[in-house]
Structure 1
Amino acid sequence: MDLNKDKSKLSEVEHIKEKSKYLEGTIEDSLKDETTGNLYAQDQQLIKFHGSYVQSDRELDKERKAQKLEPLYSFMIRVRVPGGVASAAQWITMDNLAAKYGMPTLKLTTRQAFELHGILKHNLRNTIKEINNSLMDSIAACGDVNRNVMNTVNPNTSAIHDAVQDIALAVSAHLTPKTTAYYKIWVNEEHVAGQAEEAEIEEPIYGKTYLPRKFKITFAIPPYNDTDVYAHDIGLIAIEENGQLKGFNYSIGGGMGMTFGDETTYPRVGNLIGYASAEKTVDICEKLVTIQRDFGNRENRKLSRFKYTIDRVGLDFVKAELNRRLGYELEAPKPFRFTTNGDSFGWIKGVNGKWFNTLYIEGGRVKDTERFRLRAGLRAIAEILGEGDFRLTANQNVVIGNVEESIKPQVEKLLEEYGISEHQQVTTLHQHSIACVALNMCPLANAEGERYLPSLITKIHAILEKYGIGQQPITIRMTGCPNGCGRPYLGEIGFVGRAPGKYNLYLGAAFNGERLNVLYKEALNEEEILGTLDPLIALYASEKSATEHFGDFILRKEIIRQQNPKADFHLS
């Protein structure tokens, strides 16, 4: 059962982790090296655990190469926001840092984190230190560990949201790495209160080599699946009785990434394995993480995610091993129902008497444009919000939350003043869309994502209007590569970049996020995409039932067929 017995077969990253002194490596030496804007090769891997990736502007690389210059390296810093809730003061901090050190924009990710882009090497330490001063951090935002823990922030769920949020925070804290390297490098402290001395450092959950690959946990509160609970290694579905949180159903083995041309890789939705009461949550999550730690593939990183471990050793084995480690068995899953994996927009009054306003943020990019001043407006709102907060959604939008009745008119005035209210009047297609960063910043991207999807959606919406269904919500997801950061395989219409200007088209996922889509056509340009979708939308408009969603219709009409999901995502 143990693939990792022969150390000579382990991936290079495994050796880097083992020699890293619990993620310290030679990062400090790399930061001091002024001959390059990059880090040493091994530190490019280790810095991911600290929440950062090396990037370059690919549109400048050719020009710089002609000038015999290295790429203009910079760094993305991802900031954890467990459960997606940030204070107004933390929003202001992130806004300040974007202006001071990086691109003057904030990126809201599909996993409820902030991203700063364009941070130069000599500014890395100050940026991360100031993030920590705001009581946020970037540790474990990337790397082979449990990453940012997500939670539903839909305002309609406020009756039990706080109880679920407390547990999400507890899971996040429990699974955060215990290494002091993060604090030594970025906060200039040998250790912080409660941390062990260097000689005593250990990782009681992760061990010296941490996990085989990244690990993702999310919470969802029915009927909203806005966090795409089935797309994660562990998905926890809240069960409510009489307005009280009772416990969670557990889904395991979800994951979106794959590799073109490699049929051993595939996206996967999680399997429901049982239910447990709320007080058992942290322990169950820990035990599932340790099962992946012990049985995950450390030889081939393409096959290292928990989904592949489950399919290799068997779901029954994983459940039996979980029961053994817990000392008890999970109960049968409790009934629940999801209706959508989208957000609800506009003002809603919570059960606590405070107001919540969900705003559409195109591509999750908070920036000022000639059309309207989104970044400046949200900054102005943060400065008057007091005890209110900003809630990052898994669909790259933001909720201005916990707004006092007395402040609400001021917030509305600022939304008008900065042009934000006017630009909330977008189509339902735009509201149900997600795009990853892709070109020009992501080194893995084959095609555009965030910069292109809005214009394509406008053209798809024109087709819907032509057939009289312009207000029909359809989930549309686009990524620049098959790694799945924007969860494209859960879009009723999914686009995955094959080459500049060309995308594989996937159809048929469920509107509520419970079913994957299927590859329909390969390597289409825009004209071919629109030409392919037009007759399908025409058929849908004329033959759908009153409440039938596009993905369900495509499946019912056998335009696509769900067969073996491992074969449904690859080139023919």
Structure 2
Amino acid sequence: MASTDNKLSPVEGIKDESNYLRGTVAEELADGTDHFSKESIQLIKHFGMYQQDDRDARASNRAAGGGKDYIMMVRTRLPAGLLNSQQMLEELDLCDEIGNGTLRITSRQGTQFHGIQKSDVHQLMQRMKGVGLTSLGACGDVNRNVMCCPAPFKNNELHDQIQKTSFAIADHFAPRTGAYREIFLQDPETGEKTRVDENGNEIVEPIYGKHYLPRKFKMGICLPEDNCIDVYTQDLGMIAIHEGGKILGYNILVGGGMGRTPSADKTYPALGMKLTYVSPEDLIGVCEAIVKVQRDFGNREDRKVARLKYTVRNMGLPEFKKKVEEYFGRELPEPHEADVTDFDDHKGWSAQGDGKWFYGLNVENGRIADFEDCKLKTAIREVCTTLNPGIHFTGHQDIIFSDIVEEDKPKLEAILKKHNVVLTEEISNTLRWSMACVAWPTCGLSITESERALPGMVDDLEKEVAKLGLQDEKFTLRMTGCPNGCARPYNSDIGLVGRAKEKYTMFLGGRLLGNRLSYIYKDMVPADEVVPELVKVFTAFKEQRNDGESLGDFCDRLGQEKLLEATGG
């Protein structure tokens, strides 16, 4: 570890003493209590699980003299967001039988179960294994779910290769400890896949080592013409450079990340910087070198500044590249001139290229549930049962149904309409490009509402945008309940970040393409003033925009001071 032992953060000590993440997790699962110890809370993250509590119930519990209502959130790890109908149905069954009745698509193309009791964790993990799913590495100080364009184009080498590569990377960087199998699966394959060093010592984690990474690590792969996974927000982003239908190599970006702490100037959101260009054959090797540099030189004293973005900027990109070359074993070339040029959300109908079709359905804020006026969960269950499509989750928390034959296209739409699910073709652009994190009542980090607040704001804003005749404009609108930025608000056209109860920091000037950061337009905006403030911005945009200028480009061109003048402050 790069830091001296007496300065390590407490989490580093917990990992050090855990025997490769085991700790006392197994004993605590069997102790009859409804929660884990503070040490185990840090370890179970590596198994894709967070301990939470129902924050809506806190006040009433305190008044009654009780404690917290503990619940677990469990994530699945799904490289490129890909799974099949059988797996989807099992996840829906699990959310009904042992969860809170809902399943949530994450902004990293995975899924989340909410409301899981500690006593049901074994059942959840084992049933997921039964259909080939895992939560190992979905959270924690390791490489998280590998994002990749999920579009199911067939007979297309570009999409085939990047999706296969995302699976190869996910497997290469998966934790090797046997703790997950021992504790949760209790199967006969228990035991690490160990290596032996030159001195005959066993190496349990050849990439991560005993202490794993200083902080979480995120990777994503995209094509230049389709940055649907927000490649610039990744710790390690890969842009597949291609020509004539063949991938020639990958531009490597390093140091992206969204989280910030407003009270700590040392923290900030950042976009990735171009490091090098590598061949497909060298890709995983270079990625491993980058991860190992972060392992050995990332900050283990202060978790607020432990992400790769701080390591890169503290070292300086040239010095960081030299260190990566040292770990990789040879010099690396300069980046390719190619960059991202467009963004496709893959919604609506598209031809797959093999005579079949896929349909991208908008899922507001990723929440799969049956509501009073819309039975989305029931509709998805019927689609999977009757049509058996492939399932693909997008980085915008939506779902794609693939392998639909021509004659079944009306059947799919009929099933959705029967359950009052609004088709993608019928939603507004305001809704289409919006996204919110979970926030209250389950996320322990949230300062204020997000998922429960954004739908009402979208309903109000889309009406005002239509009144201005701007309903055809494309703009991203993203909200988070705290500055950690799980819904990636800092590079969107409009970002709303929880600052205090029912108050938000308003960010403007990012863009749909995702390769520009926004700036703080106004701070501490009350929830009921968010839409009126945005209406002022849209009005100024309509009156003063240049030809073909997007909302984000307009706000970026004016900057905060001039935009405040244009909107009357």
Q: With the length of structure 1 as denominator, give the TM-score of the two structures.
A: 0.94
Aligned partner of 1:279 among 278, 281, 301: 281
Structure 2 residue 557 is the aligned partner of structure 1 residue 556: yes
Question: C-alpha separation between the residues in 2 aligned to 1:43 and 1:352?
Answer: 49
**Equivalent in the alignment of 1:475:** 476
Q: 1:71 to 1:216 in 2, by over 3 A?
A: same
Q: Matches of residues 2-401 of structure 1 in structure 2 within 5 Å? A: 3-4=2-3, 6-34=4-32, 36-154=33-151, 159=156, 160-189=158-187, 191-192=189-190, 195-196=193-194, 200=202, 202-341=204-343, 343-386=345-388, 388-401=389-402
Q: 1:99 to 1:232 in 2, by over 3 A?
A: same
Offset of 1:330 from its aligned partner?
Answer: 3.0
> Following superposition, which runs of at least 4 residues in structure 1 exceed 4 angstroms of deviation?
155-158, 196-201, 339-342, 421-424
**Equivalent in the alignment of 1:434:** 435
The answer as to whether partners of 1:518 and 1:560 remain within 8 angstroms in 2 is no
Question: C-alpha separation between the residues in 2 aligned to 1:534 and 1:394?
Answer: 27
Q: 1:138 to 1:560 in 2, by over 3 A?
A: farther
Question: C-alpha separation between the residues in 2 aligned to 1:299 and 1:561?
Answer: 41
Q: 1:319 to 1:337 in 2, by over 3 A?
A: closer
Offset of 1:421 from its aligned partner?
Answer: 4.5
Offset of 1:461 from its aligned partner?
Answer: 2.0
The answer as to whether partners of 1:154 and 1:343 remain within 8 angstroms in 2 is no
The answer as to whether partners of 2:239 and 2:339 remain within 8 angstroms in 1 is no
Question: C-alpha separation between the residues in 2 aligned to 1:371 and 1:535?
Answer: 32
Letter in 1 for 2:26: E
Offset of 1:201 from its aligned partner?
Answer: 6.1
**Equivalent in the alignment of 1:568:** none
The answer as to whether partners of 2:493 and 2:511 remain within 8 angstroms in 1 is yes
Q: 1:330 to 1:157 in 2, by over 3 A?
A: farther
**Equivalent in the alignment of 2:512:** 511
Offset of 1:340 from its aligned partner?
Answer: 4.3
Offset of 1:85 from its aligned partner?
Answer: 0.7
The answer as to whether partners of 2:361 and 2:423 remain within 8 angstroms in 1 is no
Question: C-alpha separation between the residues in 1 aligned to 2:222 and 2:314?
Answer: 27
The answer as to whether partners of 1:342 and 1:432 remain within 8 angstroms in 2 is no
**Equivalent in the alignment of 1:417:** 418
Deviation readout 1:170-189 (Å, 9 max, x if unpaired): 00000000000000011112
Question: C-alpha separation between the residues in 2 aligned to 1:110 and 1:526?
Answer: 23
**Equivalent in the alignment of 2:466:** 465
Offset of 1:129 from its aligned partner?
Answer: 1.0
Question: C-alpha separation between the residues in 2 aligned to 1:174 and 1:9?
Answer: 31
Question: C-alpha separation between the residues in 2 aligned to 1:504 and 1:546?
Answer: 29
The answer as to whether partners of 2:221 and 2:231 remain within 8 angstroms in 1 is yes
Offset of 1:144 from its aligned partner?
Answer: 0.3
**Equivalent in the alignment of 1:447:** 448
Question: C-alpha separation between the residues in 1 aligned to 2:334 and 2:119?
Answer: 53
Deviation readout 1:307-341 (Å, 9 max, x if unpaired): 01111111111111112222333333334353444
The answer as to whether partners of 1:249 and 1:273 remain within 8 angstroms in 2 is yes
Question: C-alpha separation between the residues in 1 aligned to 2:212 and 2:235?
Answer: 16
The answer as to whether partners of 1:225 and 1:340 remain within 8 angstroms in 2 is yes
Offset of 1:453 from its aligned partner?
Answer: 0.6
Question: C-alpha separation between the residues in 1 aligned to 2:462 and 2:418?
Answer: 28
**Equivalent in the alignment of 1:485:** 486
Letter in 1 for 2:176: K
Letter in 1 for 2:275: I
Q: 1:201 to 1:332 in 2, by over 3 A?
A: closer
Question: C-alpha separation between the residues in 1 aligned to 2:142 and 2:42?
Answer: 13
Offset of 1:197 from its aligned partner?
Answer: 11
Letter in 2 for 1:298: R
Question: C-alpha separation between the residues in 1 aligned to 2:438 and 2:284?
Answer: 32
Q: 1:367 to 1:487 in 2, by over 3 A?
A: same
Q: 1:561 to 1:130 in 2, by over 3 A?
A: farther
SS in 1 for 2:414: helix
SS in 1 for 2:148: coil
Q: 1:433 to 1:422 in 2, by over 3 A?
A: closer
Q: 1:411 to 1:535 in 2, by over 3 A?
A: closer
% same residue: 37
The answer as to whether partners of 1:507 and 1:560 remain within 8 angstroms in 2 is no
Question: C-alpha separation between the residues in 2 aligned to 1:524 and 1:359?
Answer: 32
Question: C-alpha separation between the residues in 1 aligned to 2:290 and 2:371?
Answer: 45
Give the length in aligned residue pairs.
558
Offset of 1:191 from its aligned partner?
Answer: 3.0
Letter in 2 for 1:521: K
Q: 1:422 to 1:233 in 2, by over 3 A?
A: closer
Q: Tell me, which stretches of 5 or more residues in structure 2 are unaligned? A: 564-569
Q: Tell me, which stretches of 5 or more residues in structure 1 are unaligned? A: 563-572
Question: C-alpha separation between the residues in 2 aligned to 1:237 and 1:254?
Answer: 14
Question: C-alpha separation between the residues in 2 aligned to 1:238 and 1:497?
Answer: 35
